[in-house]
Amino acid sequence: MEILDRYIEQLLKESTPQAPMWNIEKIKAGKKPSWNYIDGCMIKAVVELYQITGKPSYLEFADHFISYFVNEDGSIRSYHPEEYNLDNVNAGKTLFDLYRLTGHEKYRRAMDTIYSQLVHQPRTSTGNFWHKKIYPHQIWLDGLYMAQPFYMQYEAEYRNGENCLDSYEQFLNVYRLMRDPLNGLYYHAYDDSRQMFWCDQVTGLSDSFWLRALGWYAMALVDTMDVMPASLSREKEQLKSIYRQLIDAMLPYQDKETGMWYQVVNRGGIRPNYLETSGSAIFSFAILKSVRLGLLDESYRPAGLKAFEGICRTQLSEKEGRLQLDGICLVAGLGNKEMREGTFDYYMREPVVSNDAKGVAPLVLAYVETLWLSHHS
């Protein structure tokens, strides 16, 4: 898709490790560059682009970017494992591919650095990783995407699969604790301590079904199943069933015209709810990748393509020679200083921005899936 190719070139040309133009949170806050999940999402997408196109400039960009943060001894600039922040594990996923493609030993050592965080990561009473040290006793759907694919792959490749079942069981707990049995959707967060003002005192759950959180969870399932060792075939079947139930629960809420989904998934007709780009792109990617991997059958592919085409048609535009991707919710979470209460009104209050990697990266990943399709059709 020519417009998307140009858009990707524009983003890469204007970005450096010190100033990635897709990290709108950093730009808005005027913060220094740091190891973070947003850049991790984008670099993972660039590496996948390289794998499908073979274009050297993509690999060079990704290698240069990650290399800026990773020191020879495997320590990582601005990364502090003792913060126990699952978001910071996400960029670690790029290290597997970069180590394989470049042979730089420092990438192998950096994987150990990140793994050391997970070894000591505090856990809920159910055995799930805390989302962050600053969010004690809490499981957020986001955290499964940030940490579990890395955890599963590291265990499978470097530890003989020793704790692969632990990763699997964390998904089962989320299915048990955070899924609404009536509509099959998942709540954004769960507080094991029932102490947080935003949670239901009986269930520990937050209030709403936020699109991107559901998307993070869907991608977590697909990417984790992708790296599970063959010895866990029974467990993989179980995750496949959980994943299929999730997609089946999402499809009735897909917008007929654009193929996108709403910011709060199940309240489409209620103003000021809006069709949100990042979560829609995530589901497009997850569906297309899972059909390619045989986790869903072919009948699901049109829904993934419809979302991809709808986003490109309605959210990607060119103004005065500059391309931009609109409709991206910047951030959303629970609690903290801003007293984020997780209601419908809260998710409507968070800013909507353009060109943030939380929307761009999954759209690029969905694009890669369409390229796989054209290569093999």
The pTM score is 0.98
Residue 241 neighbours by CB distance under 10 Å: 11
**What ranges in the chain are assigned the alpha helix state H?**
2-13, 24-29, 37-53, 56-69, 93-102, 105-120, 141-158, 164-178, 211-227, 233-250, 277-292, 301-314, 344-349, 357-376
pLDDT for the residue 241: 98
For residue 334, the SS3 value is: coil
pLDDT for the residue 153: 98
pLDDT for the residue 148: 98
* Cα–Cα distance, 170 to 175 (Å, whole number): 9
Q: Is residue 142 annotated as a catalytic residue, yes or no?
A: yes
Bridge-partner residues for 317, per DSSP? 324
DSSP state, 59?
Answer: H
Plot region of 137 (φ>0 → left; ψ -120 to 50 → alpha; else → beta): left
CA distances from 46 to 33, 277, 367 (A): 19, 19, 11
- 271 exposed, middle or buried (CB, 10 Å; 0-12, 13-18, 19+)? exposed
* Residue of 39, 87, 97, 142 with catalytic role: 142
Tens of each residue's pLDDT in the chain, 377 residues: 899 999 999 999 999 999 999 999 888 888 888 999 999 999 999 999 999 999 999 999 999 999 999 999 999 999 999 999 999 999 999 999 999 999 999 999 999 999 999 999 999 999 999 999 999 999 999 999 999 999 999 999 999 999 999 999 999 999 999 999 999 999 999 999 999 999 999 999 999 999 999 999 999 999 999 999 999 999 999 999 999 999 999 999 999 999 999 999 999 999 999 999 999 999 999 999 999 999 999 999 999 999 999 999 999 999 888 999 999 999 999 998 888 999 999 999 999 999 999 999 999 999 999 999 888 86
pLDDT for the residue 8: 97
For residue 58, the SS3 value is: helix
Tokens 């699952």 belong to 86
Q: How many residues does the chain have?
A: 377
Q: Which domains does the chain have, with CATH numbers?
A: 2-376 (1.50.10.10)
Amino acid at 7: Y
pLDDT for the residue 29: 87
pLDDT for the residue 376: 80
Q: Is the CB of residue 243 less than 8 Å from the CB of residue 250?
A: no
Q: Is the CB of residue 52 less than 8 Å from the CB of residue 368?
A: yes
For residue 88, the SS3 value is: helix
CA distances from 276 to 104, 303, 341 (A): 38, 16, 20
* Cα–Cα distance, 311 to 284 (Å, whole number): 10
Amino acid at 45: A
pLDDT for the residue 366: 98
